[in-house]
Structure 1
Amino acid sequence: AAGRKLEAKDHVSLVVVCVPPDVTAKAVIQALRDFPAAVVTDVASVKSTVLTELQASDADRTRYVGSHPMAGREKGGTLAGRADLFVGRPWVIAIEEDTVSDSAQTVEQLALDLGSTPIRMSAQEHDHAVALISHTPQLISSLLAAQLASAEDKDLSLSGQGLRDTTRIAASDPRLWLQILSANSGELLPVLKSFEKDLEQVIESLEHVGTTGSLSKLGKVLEAGNLGISRLPGKHGSTNTSYAQVVVMIDDKPGELARLLTEIGAAGLNVEDLNLDHASGAQVGLVELSVLPTIEDKLVSTLRTNGWKLAG
């Protein structure tokens, strides 16, 4: 692991508590007592429960500032760590009416040092937001992935990137998520009930496909999804942009992806995003390149000139 063992001569100015949610408050209280000159923060996924426990204790809350880096992976442990995990990601600094400015700035500086963008909001505002943008997606992903457990192998052999995208986070630790979901149940339930209402509308429409207006109701649900996805921030927090997609077939061997991207860069073209998938039953990779529509034709021409095979 990084770092070294704490020694008595060390001056501790900041303590970051990274423990499971159900023991976060106790660990924060202990850190405030053990390090009387240090600012203490935590990175728990739910902030209000920690704050409530601290308010009920005799701990010095002038040195506590809750926080939550909005970054993570479906895998845990030291070997799953990444140096760039926080780069470019929002880092919530939970500010309350009695938060001491110097303490908040200390935690904000930590976020900046790790390449994140500090965002100030209250613990309640944070919990309300993550119920929608983090906790509900986790549940939906897990529910969808659970349907795969009893699926036929021949059916699963047809799966592609869409299924992988929507079920990736279902690989997360169930024990951790039990704590997170139960701690934020008050904010999570209204979102789930709204989702339930939409799902019931979809089921009803499909049960009465031949009934006048049923497909119209289903269409409204799908259109609402278009509207919702359009509101997600794009690159660097800008307005979401529509990109053109170009799919390239590459041999599944070392160096091919690097060669593809190098040749695109040499042509002065910028790739906004990419997805990598593998063709079923073949040693071939499918690279979906997202680019601005204005350079799509030039990219296609460049790739074909360089001998790359395009799909579609």
Structure 2
Amino acid sequence: MTLPPAPVLVIGCGLIGTSVALALAAHGTEVLLDDTSDAHLAEAVSQGAGVGLSSDDEPRFVVVAVPPVHAGAVVVEALHRWPQALVTDVTSVKSRIQDAIVEQSHAVPTGAGRYAGGHPMAGSELSGPGAANAQLFEGRPWAVTPTAATRPEALDAVVDLALQVGAVPIIMNASAHDRAVAVVSHVPQVMATLTAARLNDAPDNHLALSGAGLRDVTRIAGSDMALWRQILGDNAADVRSVLAEVRADLDRVIGVLETGDDAQLDAVLGEVLESGRRGTQLIPGKHGSAPSRLDSVFVQLADRPGELSRLMAHTGEAGVNIEDLRLDHDLGRPVGLAEISVAPGLGETLVEALTSRGWTAYR
């Protein structure tokens, strides 16, 4: 594997920037750090992500990991300040960054050639350097978005960066990227937030009925809203287009619910629900593999230390690999329910193995 050119300067010590720095430092890459927040910089340094940038340092590769509203200006500044350095960024909307570079091309004549955009499809509802970890990008897609002027060495540097931190680079143009993230990331964020907002006026006895489904749908609604205001604003056209398609489906559902006509209800709801079911089957599987339906095994789990590790050990002893795992807790009882997803055809094997070891397991 080719290493990105070093030293690497990471500008912005939030969740993504610090995670990039930690992953690079773990492989022995020399990493420099910079942030307008002294506290964030100090915390990233204390975690071993790198050392603070000094005035004498000459980075060969710059990763801009600042909020979207500032990213374009910081990319242009980096291209100007270090005329030999290659530059990338990790913002989730790419066209705006490229526009900023084009607008400033007179000030940085060679800038566009030394820049290639990037966007790791990884993150968390948490934020800041304290939430960072070196494994954040492992197995995750990393979009690489060169401009028409990007030189080969700049493109290679971003691809090498993605590979070095364990991600899977996917090269695409900026406009295609922005449409893609509107569908797979930005609109889901809006829908999760709108669903969670319905809970604000719900009585406590209604909220007591909440289960794993609600938590799954609303988890990302707890994300940094200041950041999401910037992201949605930057990608407004593509997000609006996808939301209009969602609204059309919502209008169909609302309209047929108002009619009370059973035949129309069956036809329209059946079509909408089936379309959604098909959509879930298109989501790539583990490591980007083709989608596949997994077997689910449900296991009652006492809510005490060591039970989960014991369950995982017994699953391993059965020779079955865990593809996914989720936990739910019974209301008012010290018992949880573990849902173990395994490769198709292995569900019954795991049920038999766990049952023989004293677990209450079923499919």
Q: Which bracket does the TM-score occupy, shorter chain normalised?
A: over 0.9
Q: Secondary structure at the match of 2:232?
A: helix
1:63-87 per-position Cα deviation (integer Å, ceiling 9, x unaligned): 1111101111111011111221100
**Farther off after superposition, 120-129 or 286-295:** 286-295
**Alignment match, 1:139:** 190
Measured on the aligned residues, the alpha-carbon RMSD in Å equals 1.4
User: 1:64-83, aligned counterparts within 5 Å?
Assistant: 64-83=115-134
Look up the match of 2:349: 298
Match of 1:30 in 2: 77
Which of 80, 84, 87 does residue 40 from structure 1 map onto?
87
Q: Counterparts of 1:41 and 1:83 in 2: how far apart (Å)? A: 19
Is 1:16 equivalent to 2:66 in the alignment?
A: no
- Cα deviation, residue 97, structure 1: 2.0
Structure-2 separation of matches of 1:94 and 1:160: 40
Q: TM-score, normalised by structure 2?
A: 0.83
For the Cα contact (< 8 Å) 2:351–2:362, is it kept in 1? no
1:182-210 Cα offsets, whole Å, 9 max, x none, are: 11111111111000000011111211233
Partner of 2:155: 104
How many residues align? The count is: 312
How far 1:100 moved relative to its partner? 0.6
Answer yes or no: is the 8 Å Cα contact 1:15–1:41 preserved in 2: yes
For 1:158 and 1:308, locate their aligned partners in 2 and report how far apart those are by CA, in whole Å.
27
Deviations 1:11-55 (Å, cap 9, x if unpaired)?
411111111111111111111122222111111111101110110
Structure 1 residue aligned with 2:284: 233
Tell me which residue corresponds to 1:156.
207
Distance of 1:273 and 1:92 partners within structure 2? 24
Please give the alpha-carbon distance, in whole angstroms, between the structure 1 residues aligned to 2:275 and 2:241.
18
Q: Is the CA contact 2:115–2:147 (under 8 Å) kept in the aligned structure 1? A: no
2:270 pairs with 1:219: yes
For residues 200 and 34 of structure 1, the distance between their equivalents in structure 2, rounded to whole angstroms, comes to 52
Please name the residue that 2:331 is paired with: 280
State the distance in 2 between where 1:161 and 1:91 align. Answer: 29
The answer (yes or no) to whether the contact 1:127–1:187 under 8 Å persists in 2 is yes
Question: Of the candidates 252, 260, 267, which is equivalent to residue 201 of structure 1?
Answer: 252
Deviation of residue 311 (structure 1)?
5.9
Structure 1, unaligned runs of 5 or more? none
Output the CA distance in 2 between the equivalents of 1:63 and 1:208: 59
Say which is worse superposed, 210-219 or 295-304, in terms of deviation: 210-219
CA-to-partner distance for each residue in 1:114-140, whole Å, 9 max, x for gaps? 000111011111101001111000000
Tell whether the 8 Å contact from 1:96 to 1:122 is kept in structure 2 after alignment. Answer: yes
Alpha-carbon distance in structure 2 between the residues aligned to 1:114 and 1:229:
28
1:205·1:215 contact (CA, 8 Å) conserved in 2? no
Whichever residue aligns with residue 207 of structure 1, its letter is E
Corresponding letter in the other structure for 1:43: V
60, 77, 94: which is aligned to 2:145? 94
The 8 Å contact of residues 14 and 38 in structure 1, kept in 2 or not, is answered as yes
Question: What fraction of aligned residue pairs are identical, expressed as a percent?
Answer: 45
